Amino acid sequence: MSVLKKLAGETVWYGLSQIVGRMVNFLLVPLYTAVFTASDYGIQSELYMYVAFLNILYAYGMETTFFRYASKSENNPQEVYNTVLSYIFVTTAVFSTILILFSQPIATALGYPKLAHFIVWLAIIIAIDALLIIPYARLRVEHKAKQFAFTKLINIFINIGLNVFFLYFCKNIYDGKFLTGLKSTIAPIYDPEMGIGYVIISNLIANALVLLLLYRSFLNFRFRFNWSAFRPMLIYAYPLMFMGFAGITSQMVDIVMIKYFLPEGFYPGKDNQAIVGIYRACAKLAIFMNLGIQAFKYAADPFFFSKAEDKNAPALFARVMRYFIIVGSVFLVLIGLNLDIIVMILRKPVFREAVGAVPFMLLGYLLFGVYANLSVWFKLTDKTVYGIWLVTGGALLSITLNYLLIPVMGYMGSAVTVLVANLAMVVASYIIGQKHFYIPYNVGSAFIHLGLAATIVFVAQTIKFNNGWISFAAHQLMFVIYFSMVLLIERKEVIKLVNRVRKGK
């Protein structure tokens, strides 16, 4: 139980950096949906989708590779750190130089010829992100969760503060809504035509400041270009890069496919770029599920590697999965039953139109968390090539389903695709993984908890009440009933847990 307590404790700290930070960041959504049009929000969503792809390219699987090689007893962690970071320095410089030199052709190809300077700024942001990957990974390997959380939160709060400064204070002062005497003061630093550019500028400044904050991580760094040492790392890593590409494709390809494959006029009075903005704004409502999964992954990756040689590891991994599914299912129901309230954070009513897609995304993201948990088998057996096939299959399925469903169902087709593609990856990974690294997962328990949670959420979405207060009360009652059922199902585990807590174990 002590190892699970340690994992839970680190998850809390990683969760603090992710959940608290992103929760505050989530408060920017009302600002964005109040200041930007749906089309502008769509452009921002598309640009940051490409950033997500480029982040995978810049990292090329070296984060997980660092965990793997730094955890091996025969390796010197500092030398692994020096070697990996040295090569990332070089590749980052090459990739960002290319982006900057070809920023205008890239912007034109995307349909935004006047936004080439955005490409330059994003290239610098991605470069800084890449240079921080291994320092952050070392903090995780050394179990310095508090320092990790602190620096992440600093980044987030600076970013948020700058967004509020530019898009709320500067904009409203410039528009004469308050503090009009300061208009001449902010005029040199605020351009009303910049729009979403201020989101990127804020991101850039915040990243640069955090790079300075983590300067100590580079003090003992020395360039090491040892190809014989790096080659096996690269062989281990490149499948992870392709897995990352395929994973991002599964999660974000809907942005491009809605833009290009949704029939014009499918939603009267709105162009496709606006529909992208509306869909992605509602997707933000599923952020709570994503954050929990991300926080768990931050703690779980080094945890799994550290326990790889333990003879009791399979049973331990099975317990971790069971608890993950239980907690994830509870969050699914809690969020799903309160969507009517959460959706009000989207300021303009137009952004709320895709809220019906959120339950599908919530369940799909939870299944992706299950898949991430299952993926331990090919990471620990060094059979990452299987990971390529699994996520590539998921990506191809996502592209195919989006292509078939978007023209018929609109953005609901994309939401259904998220659910189906992630379910397919879970099933395939489980079947293949049990043959190579057997883990005694409790499949029956997983079915019960996921099925019960999904049923509660989707039933709640189909039952509509004319009175908002009655709807709220009914949904809270449903949650109480659901949670009571969970406690009843897991009563033996709950009793064991309570007894351990009482004994201080």
Query: Which pLDDT score, from 0 to 100, does residue 137 have?
Result: 87
* Listed ranges 5-9, 359-363, 374-378; the one with the highest mean pLDDT: 359-363
Taking the C-alpha atoms of residue 33 and residue 252, their distance in angstroms, rounded to an integer, is 20
Mean pLDDT of 459-478: 86
Instruction: Report domain extents, the chain.
Output: 2-462
Query: Which pLDDT score, from 0 to 100, does residue 1 have?
Result: 46
CA dihedral over 326, 292, 139, 79, signed as positive or negative: positive
Query: Which pLDDT score, from 0 to 100, does residue 480 have?
Result: 94
Q: By mean pLDDT, which of 154-158, 296-300, 327-331, 342-346 is the weakest?
A: 296-300
Q: What is the pLDDT of residues 157-175, one digit of tens each?
A: 899 999 999 999 999 999 8
Q: What is the pLDDT of residues 7-44, one digit of tens each?
A: 555 556 665 666 666 666 677 888 998 899 999 999 99
Q: What is the DSSP letter of 440?
A: -
The rounded percent of the chain whose pLDDT value lies above 70 is 91
Taking the C-alpha atoms of residue 113 and residue 348, their distance in angstroms, rounded to an integer, is 28
Query: Which pLDDT score, from 0 to 100, does residue 14 have?
Result: 62
Q: What is the pLDDT of residues 60-103, one digit of tens each?
A: 999 889 988 887 767 788 899 999 999 999 999 999 999 999 99
Going through 240-320 in order, the beta strands assigned E by DSSP cover none
217-220 long-range contacts (CB < 8 A, ≥24 apart) are 217/135, 217/138, 218/135, 220/78
More reliable by pLDDT, 178 or 24: 178
Residue 360's pLDDT band (cuts 50, 70, 90): very high
Whether the Cβ atoms of residue 66 and residue 137 lie closer than 8 Å to each other: yes
In the numeric block, which tokens belong to residue 175? Answer: 């528009």
Question: Over 90: is that where the pLDDT of 366 sits?
Answer: yes
Taking the C-alpha atoms of residue 23 and residue 167, their distance in angstroms, rounded to an integer, is 19
Query: Which pLDDT score, from 0 to 100, does residue 504 have?
Result: 56
Question: Over 50: is that where the pLDDT of 458 sits?
Answer: yes
Instruction: Kindly report the average pLDDT of the chain as a whole number.
Output: 87
Residue 111's pLDDT band (cuts 50, 70, 90): confident
Q: What is the pLDDT of residues 41-59, one digit of tens each?
A: 999 989 999 999 999 999 9
Taking the C-alpha atoms of residue 125 and residue 159, their distance in angstroms, rounded to an integer, is 12
Q: What is the pLDDT of residues 415-457, one digit of tens each?
A: 999 999 999 999 999 999 999 989 999 999 999 999 999 999 9
Residue 398's pLDDT band (cuts 50, 70, 90): very high
Phi and psi, residue 437, nearest 5°: -150, 90
Taking the C-alpha atoms of residue 420 and residue 412, their distance in angstroms, rounded to an integer, is 12
Question: Over 60: is that where the pLDDT of 505 sits?
Answer: no
Closest alpha carbon to 380 in 442, 459, 456, 300: 300
Query: Which pLDDT score, from 0 to 100, does residue 298 have?
Result: 64
Q: Which residues, including other chains, have CB under 8 Å from residue 135's CB and lie 6 or more apart? A: 85, 214, 217, 218
Query: Which pLDDT score, from 0 to 100, does residue 133 have?
Result: 92
